[in-house]
């Protein structure tokens, strides 16, 4: 599995009370010269800073289709990611 680095940018594809599903922007894979999109799920805790359209927000304010950048910390050798921030920009609806 390729390593994922912070920040992780993409489009929101799913959302629950504390989980954000993000499909990455097209990026070159280490194993292939073709461009691939990858979806990841992030658990967002209460301590994470969330903004949408430049204003402080709650995770519930983010909508599928929004563009996001997720910043996180990951301990070496661990696949667990601690989300420290989510910056969202509204999708085509402009809300």
Give how many domains the chain has, as a whole number.
Answer: 1
pLDDT at 3: 61
32 band by pLDDT with thresholds 50, 70 and 90: very low
Cα atoms in the Cβ-side hemisphere of radius 13 Å centred on 28 = 3
Average pLDDT of span 40-65 = 93
> Mind listing the pLDDT tens digit for each residue in 44-56?
988 999 999 999 9
Residue 63 scores a pLDDT above 50:
yes
Q: What domain range includes position 38?
A: 8-89
40 is a domain residue: yes
34 is a domain residue: yes
Residues 12, 62 contacting (CB under 8 angstroms): yes
Average pLDDT of span 29-46 = 69
2 is a domain residue: no
Tell me how far apart the terminal alpha carbons of the chain are, to the nearest angstrom. 36
pLDDT at 33: 43
């Amino acid at each position: 599995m390729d390593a994922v680095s912070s920040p992780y940018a993409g489009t929101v594809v799913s959302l629950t009370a504390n989980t954000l599903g993000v499909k990455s922007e097209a990026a070159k894979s280490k194993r292939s010269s073709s461009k691939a999109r990858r979806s990841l799920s992030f658990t967002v805790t209460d301590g994470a800073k969330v903004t949408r359209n430049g204003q402080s927000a709650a995770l519930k304010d983010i909508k599928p289709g929004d563009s996001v950048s997720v910043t996180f910390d990951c301990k070496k050798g661990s696949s667990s990611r601690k989300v420290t921030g989510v910056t969202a920009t509204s999708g085509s609806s402009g809300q």
